[in-house]
């Protein structure tokens, strides 16, 4: 892998094999994670993603299995539909995480906690309630809807919480349009907060998902749009145009950067993007790697 791609894809994929559509068992998920860890493209592998309610099962597994590494772990909170439920969800997740750490913290350290905001109505109160989790990375999943920009500004004020957006799911309407995704990306980049994306980013460039009929976004497009935003201060509409580009021939990879059409991106922009674009949660590592190999970007 050339130098620019090493930097662009460094630990880009947090592995979420337990989540749909893969829905792997605990054993299969950890086995796949370890296989990727031993593979030639381990540099692209980030952390293991585990739902909070499955932490006891994960602890049982670890206590009965010998692994060669301490697995860096991201915990996904249970989420709530109203602010009234929010506090009890955080309390239960905190208890599950504390119990897990006490049992097997030396085998799988929890490095991040991610949870969905109920809505944009109580963002500041929700963020304040997350103070108990401040010793690890925290990302709040934000709806791409009215109030998004206000919530992102509130996240920026904390100076330690990041944002997260969902880019796919089990139905066609779970995939945001390029304009919607560009809205999230532009907002996150504008206030300079760390962010993650999750679901539906299995392929480098946009494709139609055969199972749902939804339009899947390309992870190369997303990274390119953000890099161009750093270097050229793209508008939201301009970022959406980058997200729509399905032609891999429009990209030219160099050791010290890459070109999209007539526009060049250097290592400075790549590094700046990866400072804030933390990772992509994905239930597949093999698909992205296989596609990049077909393009000749990986061997």
Alpha-carbon 199 to chain mean position:
8
* Per-residue pLDDT at 299: 86
- Distance, in Å, from the CA atom of 61 to the CA atom of 64, rounded to the nearest integer, reads 5
- Distance, in Å, from the CA atom of 240 to the CA atom of 176, rounded to the nearest integer, reads 11
Low-confidence ranges of the chain (pLDDT < 70): none
CATH class of 9-205+278-295: alpha beta
* Per-residue pLDDT at 290: 96
* Per-residue pLDDT at 18: 97
- C-beta of residue 156 within 8 angstroms of C-beta of residue 193: yes
Q: Where are the domains of the chain?
A: 9-205+278-295
* Per-residue pLDDT at 52: 98
* Per-residue pLDDT at 172: 94
- Distance, in Å, from the CA atom of 126 to the CA atom of 137, rounded to the nearest integer, reads 16
Burial of 215 (0-12, 13-18, 19+ CB in 10 A): middle
Classify residue 66 as left (phi > 0), alpha (psi -120 to 50) or beta: beta
Q: What is the pTM of this model?
A: 0.96
* Per-residue pLDDT at 154: 98
Radius of gyration, alpha carbons of the chain: 19
Alpha-helical runs (H) found in the chain? 3-8, 26-38, 55-63, 83-104, 123-129, 148-158, 178-191, 219-232, 236-244, 267-276, 286-295
């Amino acid at each position: 892998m050339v130098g620019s791609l090493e930097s662009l894809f460094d630990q880009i994929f947090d592995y979420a094999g337990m989540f749909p559509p893969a829905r792997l068992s605990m054993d299969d998920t950890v086995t796949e994670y370890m296989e990727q860890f031993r593979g030639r493209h381990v540099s692209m592998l980030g952390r293991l993603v585990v739902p909070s309610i499955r932490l006891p099962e994960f602890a049982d597994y670890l206590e009965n299995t010998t692994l060669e590494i301490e697995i860096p772990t991201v915990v996904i909170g249970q989420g709530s539909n109203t602010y009234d439920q929010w506090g009890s969800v955080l309390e239960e997740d905190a208890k599950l995480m504390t119990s897990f750490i006490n049992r097997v913290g030396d085998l799988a350290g929890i490095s991040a906690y991610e949870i969905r905001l109920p809505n944009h109505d109580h963002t500041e109160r929700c963020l304040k309630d997350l103070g108990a989790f401040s010793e690890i990375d925290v990302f709040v999943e934000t709806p791409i809807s009215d109030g998004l920009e206000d919530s992102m500004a509130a996240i920026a004020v904390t100076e330690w919480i990041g944002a997260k957006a969902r880019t796919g799911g089990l139905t066609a309407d779970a995939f945001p349009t390029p304009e919607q995704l560009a809205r999230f990306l532009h907002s996150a980049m504008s206030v300079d907060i760390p962010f993650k994306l999750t679901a539906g980013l299995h392929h480098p460039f946009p494709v139609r998902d055969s199972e749902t009929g939804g339009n899947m976004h390309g992870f190369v497009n997303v990274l390119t749009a953000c890099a161009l935003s750093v270097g050229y201060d793209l508008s939201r509409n301009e970022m959406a145009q980058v997200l729509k580009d399905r032609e891999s021939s429009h990209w030219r990879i160099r050791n010290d950067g890459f070109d999209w059409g007539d526009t060049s991106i250097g290592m400075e922009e790549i590094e700046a993007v990866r400072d804030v674009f933390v990772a992509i949660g994905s239930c597949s590592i093999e698909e992205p790697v296989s596609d990049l190999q077909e393009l000749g970007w990986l061997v």
